[in-house]
């Protein structure tokens, strides 16, 4: 699992644009975490299967 890149923000940037970039990065990070959690749960179940 790769880390999500932190968006580059600069002084004077429109706050709405900065929020959009940051929000997009958070959505990507959360989807990766959810996928990893699902994968790990599958691994746990496979070790418990006969």
> Residue 8: inside a domain, yes or no?
no
Distance CA 12, CA 17 (A): 11
Distance CA 35, CA 1 (A): 10
> Residue 33: inside a domain, yes or no?
yes
Distance CA 2, CA 28 (A): 11
Structure confidence by residue, pLDDT tens digits, 1-50:
678 888 888 899 898 988 888 888 889 999 999 999 999 999 999 988 77
Q: Which domain holds residue 33?
A: 14-50
> Residue 6: inside a domain, yes or no?
no
pLDDT of residue 8: 85
> Residue 26: inside a domain, yes or no?
yes
Rg (alpha carbons) of the chain, rounded to whole number: 17
pLDDT of residue 10: 86
> Residue 9: inside a domain, yes or no?
no
> Residue 4: inside a domain, yes or no?
no
With a CB cutoff of 8 Å and minimum separation 6, the contacts of 18 are 7, 9
Count of domains in the chain?
Answer: 1
Model's pTM, two decimal places? Answer: 0.66
């Amino acid at each position: 699992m790769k880390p999500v890149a932190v968006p580059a923000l600069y002084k004077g940037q429109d706050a709405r644009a900065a929020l959009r970039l940051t929000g997009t990065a958070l959505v990507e990070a959360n989807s990766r975490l959810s996928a990893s959690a699902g994968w790990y749960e599958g691994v746990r179940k496979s070790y418990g299967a006969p």
